[in-house]
Amino acid sequence: MPYQPQEIAVYIHWPFCKSKCPYCDFYKELARNTDQDTIIAEYLDALKRYHEILPERTVKSVFFGGGTPSLIKPQNIAKIIDEIARLWHIRTNPEISLEANPNTHYQTMFADLKTAGINRLSLGVQALNEADLRFLGRTHTTETARQCLEEITTVFDNHSADLIYARPHQTLPAWQKELTEICSYGLKHISLYQLTVEENTVFARKNIRPLEEDAAVEMYEFTRDFLTERNYNLYEVSNFAQTGFESVHNLTYWQGGDYIGIGKSAHGRFYENNTHYAAEYPFIHTPLTAYERAEELLIMGLRLTQGINKDVFCQICGLDLTEFINKQKLNNLRTAGFLTETPTHLFATRRGFLVLNQLILELCS
Ligand SMILES: C[S@@+](CC[C@H](N)C(=O)[O-])C[C@H]1O[C@@H](n2cnc3c(N)ncnc32)[C@H](O)[C@@H]1O
Ligand code: SF4
């Protein structure tokens, strides 16, 4: 059967933040005199234009990411969600997520966001001790983070929190304390990112060094076991979920589904008129060859513990996975214990996960 994706995920990027964190290399601007209503009007127009290109799709998820989308007025969030629902058919129980920064918290914020249509709240906690929050340049306190965690687990049925670890000088017992606390809120999903010092960030200019590699590997392994014992399964390199609460939206990226992105620095991928497109906002659509798409599917799919479904890979890009990958390299990596192949899937082993970037580079070179 010809490949004809039906569903689509919608990403809304809000690139404004109250302050800039010194480790962050995402595109962002300071939210000083942001003319929010004008930007929202532009986003509503962009949605209409995307609907003209992809009219027959069913929306499975909407993700308000950032930047700091919790700075968007709830009535503007509602406008976006309503417009998406007016334009497209929406899946039963769609996932509609928003990333909130505790530094934007006000008393009725989460209730207002829920009323606007958000049904999954992801909170940027980053650290659960004051000294490390300050080190990370965060402008919220642990007290606000804790209050937000209490509130999101009361207001929403689906919730997540982000923490950054492998901070310089962080010890395993100190990290265990934070993990114990974050697990105590009954969140459905937890994202744990190892600190990376990216070029052109304040951290890079200050020559900040993350934890040494051996210590970071030990922390990663410890974290994986600690969360698994508490019923949070690692399903992607940095993402843990209770069963059935994996992020529908983010799985779209990792499994090669179609998505559109609205907002400065947002991007998309979609298949239309027998062509794969890489989309950059606003409306630059570059055709991708089957080979280019296959490479992306490999890079993204190996991030999942479940790995790459060979049938889905072939349906999407039209190439056979085991023919696309260099057989000799595949055999070497399998023999060395980094990759496992079953009749249906190819995935990185636990050992492979520790060197995933090198593994992917090797397969793609
Ligand atoms: C684009 S940010 C948006 C979240 C929101 N603006 C906030 O900061 O609360 C998504 C997540 O990426 C993670 N992140 C960003 N930069 C990182 C870095 N250099 N190293 C590790 N994690 C990082 C943080 O955990 C952050 O919550
Ligand atoms: S981490 Fe979040 S709040 Fe901080 S600068 Fe990046 S996007 Fe903005």
Ligand 1 lined by 43 (C-beta under 6 Å) = no
For ligand 2, the distance from its centroid to the CA atom of residue 328, given in whole angstroms, is 42
pLDDT of 33 reads: 86
Q: Enumerate residues 6+ apart whose C-beta is below 8 A from 249.
A: 9, 11, 60, 61, 62, 63, 95, 97, 259
Ligand 2, atom 7: closest residue by C-alpha: 67
Residue nearest to atom 13 of ligand 1 (CA): 193
Ligand 2 atom nearest to 20, measured from its CA = 5
- Residue 265, Ramachandran bin (φ over 0: left; ψ between -120 and 50: alpha; else beta): left
* CA distance readout (Å), 5 to 40, 271, 317, 344: 28, 7, 12, 21
Decide whether any atom of ligand 1 lies within 6 Å of the 265 Cβ.
no
Asked whether the beta carbons of 229 and 171 are under 8 A apart, the reply is no
Mean pLDDT of each 10-residue bin along the chain, 365 residues long? 89 97 96 94 98 98 98 98 98 98 98 98 98 98 98 98 97 98 98 97 96 96 98 98 98 98 96 97 97 97 98 97 92 97 97 95 89
Counting from 1 in the atom list of ligand 1, the atom nearest the Cα of 24 is: 16
The pLDDT of residue 364 is 87
What are the φ and ψ backbone dihedral angles of 257, each rounded to 5 degrees? -80, 175
Residue ranges of alpha helices (H) inside 191-337 are 202-205, 213-229, 248-255, 290-301, 310-317, 321-324, 327-335
Protein residues with CB under 6 Å of any ligand 2 atom:
17, 20-21, 24, 26, 28, 66-68, 101, 124
Residue 365: the pLDDT is 82
pLDDT, residue 5, reads 86
Per-residue model confidence as pLDDT tens digits over 243-301:
999 999 999 999 999 999 999 999 999 999 999 999 999 999 999 999 999 999 999 99
Distance CA 269, CA 250 (A): 13
Q: How many A from CA of 194 to the centre of ligand 1?
A: 10
Ligand 1 mean position to 146 CA, how many Å?
Answer: 18
How far is residue 241's CA from residue 189's CA, in Å, rounded to a whole number? Answer: 4
Q: What is the pLDDT of residues 78-126, one digit of tens each?
A: 999 999 999 999 999 999 999 999 999 999 999 999 999 999 999 999 9
pLDDT at 281: 97
Alpha-carbon span 80 to 60, nearest angstrom: 15
CA angle (348, 361, 259) in 5-degree steps: 75
**244 Cα to the center of ligand 1, angstroms:** 24
By most ligand atoms within 8 Å of CB, the mutation choice from 14, 26, 198, 264 for ligand 2 is 26
The answer to whether 163 touches 207, Cβ cutoff 8 Å, is no
Q: What is the pLDDT of residue 291?
A: 96
Q: What CA–CA distance (Å, rounded) separates 110 from 299? A: 35
CA 80 to ligand 1 center in whole angstroms: 24
Distance 202 CA to ligand 1 centre (A): 14
Domains and CATH numbers, the chain: 7-250 (3.20.20.70), 294-365 (1.10.10)
Tell me, what's the pLDDT at 2? Answer: 76
Q: How far is the CA of 103 from the centre of ligand 2 (A)?
A: 11
